[in-house]
Amino acid sequence: MANANATATPARRKIAIVGAGWAGMAAALAVAQAGHEAIVLEAAHAIGGRARALFDPKNTDTPLDNGQHILIGAYSECLRLMRLVGVAPESALLRLPLALRFADGGGLQLPDLPPPWDALAGIATARGWRWRDKWALLRLASAWQRSGFACAPDATVAQLCARLPARLVEDFIAPLCVSALNTPLHEASGAVFLRVLHDSLFSGRGGSHLLLPRTDLGSLFPAPAAHWLRAHGGALHTGRRVQRLAREDGSGEREGAPAGWLLDGERFDAVVLATSAGAAARLLGCAADTAPGAERPALHAWATCAQALRHTAIATVYAQCAQPDRLPAAIGAVRRKARGAAAQGVLPQPLLALRSSATQPAQFVFDRGALGGPPGLLAFVVSAADTLAGTRAQIEQQVLAQAHAQLAHLLPGPLHAVQTVVEKRATFACTPALQRPPAYILPGLWACGDYVAGPYPATLEGAVRSGTAAGQQAAEWLAQR
């Protein structure tokens, strides 16, 4: 006879995840791993959110992305989830020591050494910097380390680096800040910037390495995650826009289960909102209209905090280099040897920094040919693009002129624009002492995303960590009911 006191298997509950971006898929995986039924509802017909593949119906063999993303070696949760769903980071990502090199050869490149020796050696051997400039950066970095990489909550990155020479700020701090926080250094949070530096430079050997996708962003995680989810009893519904969120009638237990939530009338035991901040705020405002009086303040407070976030844009200009096969043989041989025989790049490195200004707005260029894409295809990234005056076409023309001014000596032929993508609400502005909405909203209701309260700016790692945590918390909460 079975022992009546044996631990019972937790009941399988139905949890909705609204949104199939990186955070939403991470939440769904956590829910499924806990033994519950994860139902993902995505308004769009493509998954991946703000880090997804774009398919041109005229050229389905070469998907682009809605933005060019960089991962780093310290992104432990991204790498764990990729492996979980069957993606091998070793082949899907090109790993390179951190480098902020310009087309003229100047800038910083760290050697593959354990910290802090990689940073020390990289600064000491940086090209185009005077020794007194290098010494100033080393002194400041040492001061940050002694302070535990902490600063006043209201400090900006510009204030943290006010004593650095202008050349170092322009060539190192500014591009690093805008790439990590997507916020100009005079507005960017110094505390978050220091946290990013600490966790990348001091997380262990390889933590600061750049991980550049060799495939489109959909194939990197969202699509394999969807396949894994379905294989483990979950479901993903695209083209399903949730219009209404409401608390289930009644405040007590119903058939042994706690009162749940209704999405367009369908009942779920718990809900994780993995949408944009604005979409989540809209649903919570709707829920507050019919929620019990005691729950309305929390719903309104969360929505108000989310709506107060200021968002910033990122533009990506894809341009094709004419006659990429005409790269001088000697140069081409050197580059292929450095990157591998299969590389088809036209730039000396897969990623180069660009000197940016109001009229030359791109901060980085990626050689997609060196990353497995079509030879000669380049991706120019304009972070904080909302600060620019001009239309999409004007930004495109400015970037092409910038490429001609800074890269012409490296390219075998002229460039022409292929596609320009502008994500108007790509990230939130990561400003000092920013109040971000919490993950927990009410019993049975959570939010996740790169904008939810956490230590990191709007990054893929921040998104998936938030999603995993929300999925795990929902499962744990149900286990206690």
Distance CA 241, CA 246 (A): 15
Q: Which domains does the chain have, with CATH numbers?
A: 14-53+63-75+218-309+431-479 (3.50.50.60), 98-208 (no CATH), 311-428 (3.30.70)
Q: Collapse the DSSP code of 336 into the 3-class scheme (helix H, G, I; strand E, B; otherwise coil) and give the result.
A: helix
pLDDT digit string (tens) for 190-225? Answer: 999 999 999 998 888 999 999 999 999 999 999 999
pLDDT digit string (tens) for 287-329? Answer: 999 899 999 999 999 999 999 999 999 999 999 998 766 554 4
Q: How many CB atoms lie within 10 A of CB 310?
A: 13
Per-residue pLDDT, 453: 97
Q: Which pTM value belongs to this model?
A: 0.92
Max Cα-Cα span within the chain: 82
Strands 266-268 and 99-101, by their bridges, are unpaired
Phi, psi of 120 (to 5 degrees): -60, -45
Residue 441, both tokens: 């909203």
Rg, Å, the chain Cα set: 24
CA distances, 351 to each of 68, 191, 348 (Å) = 11, 27, 9
| Torsion sign, CA atoms 232, 233, 238, 242 | negative
Residue 327, both tokens: 């790269």
Distance CA 220, CA 89 (A): 9
CA distances, 13 to each of 32, 35, 37, 130 (Å) = 10, 8, 6, 62
DSSP 307: H
Strands 445-447 and 351-353, by their bridges, are unpaired
**pLDDT at residue 434 above 50?**
yes
pLDDT digit string (tens) for 88-112? Answer: 999 999 999 999 999 999 999 999 9
Strands 445-447 and 270-273, by their bridges, are parallel
